[in-house]
Homo-oligomer: A and B are copies of this chain.
Amino acid sequence: MNHSSNDTQAVKLTGEEVAKHNNEESCWVIINGRAYDVTEFMPEHPGGMKIILKYAGKDGTEAYAPIHPPDTLDKYLDKSKHLGEVDMNTVQQEEKEVDPDEAERQERIQRMPILEQCYNLMDFEAVARRVMKKSAWAYYSSGADDEITLRENHSAFHKIWFRPRVLVDVERIDTSTTMLGTKVSMPFYVTATALGKLGNPEGEVVLTRGAKKHNVIQMIPTLASCSFDEIVDAKEGDQVQWLQLYVNKDRAITKRIIEHAEKRGCKGLFITVDAPQLGRREKDMRSKFDDVGSNVQNTGGDNVDRSQGAARAISSFIDPSLSWKDIPWFLSVTNMPIILKGVQRVEDVMRAIAAGVHGVVLSNHGGRQLDTARSGIEILAEVMPELRRMGLDKKIEIYIDGGVRRATDIIKALCLGATGVGIGRPFLYAMSAYGLPGVDRAMQLLKDEMEMNMRLIGCSRVEELGPDMVDTRGLSMHTTSISDTLGLNVYDPLVGPKEKARL
């Protein structure tokens, strides 16, 4: 959209010229065939200076592309620093170091299981872990602090047990439902996750196509690798998309984004409320450290390196002062239904109803923000009885996300009162490992599981699912246990029958 001030340059820059600006005093980098002077910008780079200096005087496109939306430089770097085109023939090809980790990864890619060997959503994760780039894996898979909430999210479902009905006619199963007025084939949606190109060069549009095929809704992330318009352009027919919104400190920008989304047909505005600051994810930070490397030991506490992984690098614009008093403004600037994403207690659900929004997502942000925050499904089990008690359970749509891996998980959420569930990482992993066919199969597997498990619980339509079909008594029993080290050491464990000795 914007045109750089140097667009009219007659002569291209040479690699040699750029290469001179290879240090803190003067730092140029080449991105997509153009040079930029980032000397002044560098200290403000959300991802830290070090990573920029690694590419000072060089072509940084390969590292830059997957984690910066296409319009980043236009938006954030003053036009005067856009130095114009570079004659790429004159740029010295970097000898790539042979990275033994990368070589092993390539080998693993050769030996990838075929898609048919994936029988459930965990299988895609197992494959993705082996074939994704280490840093991409670290970004997707990491969670806050000790990753206790990350793991609790799925684990919580295992504390809920079914009370199925039998002898119900379940010949025809209908898994369709309605979310914010849109009829969908299955009670889940593709929730927003950042930086899709880390896993697949095409990015989020792969998910758009998968969602179309299975008639489910995609939520478009603010921090996508593809631009918003690319993702909207990828939709087909009457396909429905929602927008996930990180609210910018500059409300004018936010307003522009909302209005644009509404104009382009988005049918829901999901405002993230659990991320006034993006979480520290140590797995991601360690991965970044390995990447940047370091030869000099920095021993001063003052000088703590604040570059904290990809998450923090991309989120500095988010407004930490966002509060309940901003809600009326949002309601005034759009006709899209508004849903608060990241609500974590019943009191705030009540407040959301009072504020007049149309829905909430009970979520802890995939375990990436506050560790030992409760799972969405546990919050749901707290929220719904209270709403029912007050006759408010029809006033608002309740969604949850986090840890959903099986159709049984979805069914449990619906039994407890959710309208639908968001699924994020599993589709990223499927896309990273197998592209669109992976996403397609992941959704198909969910559909097959869904149909079967609806039959087995004795319900032919999702409306029939209710709280009497689950036993949640163990759900809030968060126990830990300390092993009896000496006792376990001295215990002589039982063994089974011994085989005859080999001759």
Residue ID in chain B nearest A344 by CB atoms: B164
Using Cβ atoms and an 8 Å threshold, which residues of chain B touch A110? 500
Q: How many of these chains are in the complex?
A: 4
Cα–Cα, bound, A378→B163 (Å): 11
Cα–Cα, bound, A114→B294 (Å): 9
Q: Which of A15-23, A31-39, A62-70, A165-173 lines the interface with chain B?
A: A165-173
B159 touches A485 (CB 8 A): no
User: A474 at interface (Cβ–Cβ under 8 A)?
Assistant: yes
Using Cβ atoms and an 8 Å threshold, which residues of chain B touch A408? 145, 370-372
Contacting A116 at CB < 8 Å: which of B119, B161, B294? B294
B452 touches A484 (CB 8 A): no
A155 touches B480 (CB 8 A): yes
A323 touches B486 (CB 8 A): no
Contacting A158 at CB < 8 Å: which of B148, B453, B496? B148
Using Cβ atoms and an 8 Å threshold, which residues of chain B touch A493? 485
Using Cβ atoms and an 8 Å threshold, which residues of chain B touch A127? 496-497
Q: Say how far A322's CB is from chain B's closest CB, in angstroms.
A: 6
User: A95 at interface (Cβ–Cβ under 8 A)?
Assistant: no
Cα–Cα, bound, A369→B449 (Å): 11
Q: Say how far A365's CB is from chain B's closest CB, in angstroms.
A: 9
Cα–Cα, bound, A123→B146 (Å): 12
Q: Say how far A59's CB is from chain B's closest CB, in angstroms.
A: 27
Those of A416-454 within 8 Å (CB) of chain B:
434, 437, 439-441, 443-445, 448-449, 452-453
B486 touches A476 (CB 8 A): no
User: A297 at interface (Cβ–Cβ under 8 A)?
Assistant: yes
User: A471 at interface (Cβ–Cβ under 8 A)?
Assistant: yes
Q: Say how far A281's CB is from chain B's closest CB, in angstroms.
A: 10
Those of A248-265 within 8 Å (CB) of chain B:
none
User: A184 at interface (Cβ–Cβ under 8 A)?
Assistant: no
Those of A305-339 within 8 Å (CB) of chain B:
305, 319-324, 326-327
Q: Known contacts A161-B478, A299-B437, A490-B126; is A280 also within 8 Å of B496 by CB?
A: no
Q: Known contacts A115-B298, A479-B159, A500-B113; is A370 also within 8 Å of B279 by CB?
A: no
Most chain B beta-carbon contacts within 10 A, residue among A167, A275, A378, A484: A167
Using Cβ atoms and an 8 Å threshold, which residues of chain B touch A126? 486, 489-490, 496-497
Using Cβ atoms and an 8 Å threshold, which residues of chain B touch A345? 163-165
Q: Say how far A274's CB is from chain B's closest CB, in angstroms.
A: 6
User: A195 at interface (Cβ–Cβ under 8 A)?
Assistant: no
A contact residues, total (Cβ < 8 Å): 138
Cα–Cα, bound, A494→B452 (Å): 20
B490 touches A167 (CB 8 A): no
Q: Which of A4-12, A226-234, A283-291 lines the interface with chain B?
A: A283-291
Q: Known contacts A146-B485, A491-B151, A494-B146; is A167 also within 8 Å of B324 by CB?
A: yes
Q: Say how far A377's CB is from chain B's closest CB, in angstroms.
A: 12
Q: Known contacts A274-B456, A301-B443, A449-B280; is A169 also within 8 Å of B321 by CB?
A: yes
A sample of 28 inter-chain contacts (CB < 8 A) reads: A113-B499, A116-B289, A126-B497, A145-B449, A148-B482, A152-B482, A155-B484, A161-B373, A162-B344, A166-B342, A171-B320, A275-B456, A276-B455, A280-B449, A286-B497, A286-B498, A301-B439, A302-B440, A304-B445, A369-B456, A371-B406, A371-B408, A374-B471, A474-B478, A479-B481, A480-B481, A480-B484, A489-B495
Interface contacts beyond A123-B486, A163-B345, A304-B445: sample of 15 additional A-B pairs, CB < 8 Å, sorted by A: A111-B501, A112-B499, A114-B297, A116-B297, A147-B485, A165-B345, A165-B347, A166-B274, A171-B319, A171-B321, A279-B456, A300-B437, A304-B444, A471-B476, A480-B481
